[in-house]
Amino acid sequence: MDLAELRGVRVPRTLDEAWLQPGEAWLAGGSWLYSTPQPHLRGLVDLTGLGWPAVETSPGTDGTGLAIGATCTVAGLLAGTAPWTADPRRASVAALVRRCADAFLMSFKVQEVATVGGNICLGLPAGAMTSLAVALDARATLLAAGDGARVVPVADLVTGPGRTDRRPDELLRGLEVDAAALTATYAVRTLSLTPVGRSAAVVTGRLDPPSGTCAISVTAATDRPVVLRFGALPGADELAAAVAGIAAERWYADPHGAPDWRAHVTGVLAREVLDELHAGTREVAA
Ligand SMILES: Cc1cc2nc3c(=O)[nH]c(=O)nc-3n(C[C@H](O)[C@H](O)[C@H](O)COP(=O)(O)OP(=O)(O)OC[C@H]3O[C@@H](n4cnc5c(N)ncnc54)[C@H](O)[C@@H]3O)c2cc1C
């Protein structure tokens, strides 16, 4: 849609030029900004002018990890991780990226422009890149003028429907993913009320083979990400008890699903995720 109140779009080439003036907002892919009236805005600052790399290797805390630029598009992330499909150590994380990208209620045209950073900054419960980043245990780097960098786990950055811990003057620079996340084993289940509807529940499971630790993450069904951590693959009863222990006010209510239904289907999806992770360990042992 036309944003009639806008007086201009700035395209900064350096970080110094990118800080917001009154009435401005950062523009990434624009798939949300241009989808709804923005009467309070007078200008946009186009982050794509900064030329941040989409995906690159990074010297993580535990070996060679991954850095994802905030302006990396969903399509760019898919392209950057697609070669991993042929690598047995990284095929599982490549499949996770694909499943999360497909959880977007959007056409391929939107995937071409929508960015990882824009998705996380919106803080929608059905934020598919939030689901992905939480499954990967990714950390977000936030920059503020003259203030250095602040690093926050994405699981803590999204705090409620449309709410994040990001201050309005903080720019999301990108995500850091540790090396261990790239070789972990994942299982994913998503559910919508309609075949191509917005996700009502997304459950991801992660098993780290060296340590044996397991994390089950819930998004879309809850108003903010919920991560259930276990020292080893839990039994079905232990997992069911952990899901039942999620606070009642966390279950999200919107036209895509009632809270009690979301709580119920999350339990079912979590059990399927667990069964898939258990089956994977049996295959490896055989
Ligand atoms: C048909 C359709 C379907 C959609 N389906 C979904 C869906 O299923 N799930 C979902 O979550 N969303 C959905 N969306 C909403 C939106 O398209 C996505 O969330 C998208 O990822 C937003 O990214 P963007 O780059 O286009 O953000 P933009 O529209 O450019 O920006 C979104 C917001 O984030 C801020 N922002 C962007 N980047 C940064 C940054 N680096 N630092 C600080 N602030 C920043 C902007 O100022 C703005 O407030 C859908 C949209 C459409 C049109």
Tens digits of residue pLDDT in 175-204: 999 999 999 999 999 999 887 778 999 999
Residues 59 and 176 in one domain: yes
Mean pLDDT, rounded, for 91-115: 87
Report whether residue 20 contacts ligand 1, using a CB cutoff of 6 Å: no
Residues 22 and 127 in one domain: no
Report whether residue 77 contacts ligand 1, using a CB cutoff of 6 Å: no
Structurally, how many domains does the chain consist of?
A: 3
Please report, for the domain that includes residue 156, its CATH number.
3.30.465.10
Q: How sure is the predictor about 286, in pLDDT bands with cuts at 50, 70 and 90? A: very low
List the 43-46 sheet strands across, edge first: 8-10, 43-46, 24-27
Given a cut of 60, whether residue 169 has pLDDT beyond it is yes
What per-residue confidence (pLDDT) applies to 121?
Answer: 98
Residues 41 and 155 in one domain: no
Pair of tokens at residue 75: 């399509």
More confident residue, 105 or 77: 77
Mean pLDDT, rounded, for 36-57: 95
Cα angle value 94/56/78 (rounded, 5°):
35
Q: What percent of the chain has pLDDT over 70?
A: 96
Report whether residue 18 contacts ligand 1, using a CB cutoff of 6 Å: no
Report whether residue 9 contacts ligand 1, using a CB cutoff of 6 Å: no
Residues 37 and 146 in one domain: no
Q: Looking at ligand 1, which atom is closest to the CA of residue 25? A: 47
| Separation of alpha carbons 175 and 81, rounded Å | 15
Mean pLDDT, rounded, for 4-19: 94
DSSP code at position 146:
T
Give per-residue pLDDT as tens, 223-243: 999 999 999 999 999 999 999
Mean pLDDT, rounded, for 98-119: 86
For ligand 1, pick from 20, 119, 131, 219 the residue to mutate: most ligand atoms within 8 Å of CB.
119
Give per-residue pLDDT as tens, 92-103: 999 999 999 988
What per-residue confidence (pLDDT) applies to 103?
Answer: 82
Residue numbers of the domain that contains 172: 55-180
Residues 152 and 78 in one domain: yes
Residues 196 and 173 in one domain: no
CA 265 / ligand 1 centre spacing (Å):
26
Residues 176 and 59 in one domain: yes
pTM for the model: 0.96
Q: What percent of the chain has pLDDT over 90?
A: 83
CA 32 / ligand 1 centre spacing (Å):
5
Do residues 44 and 26 make contact, with C-beta atoms less than 8 angstroms apart? yes
Cα 258 to Cα 59, 82, 225, 244: the distances in Å are 43, 35, 17, 16
Cα 147 to Cα 27, 150, 158, 169, 183: the distances in Å are 21, 9, 21, 10, 34
- According to DSSP, the β-strands at 139-143 and 149-153 are antiparallel
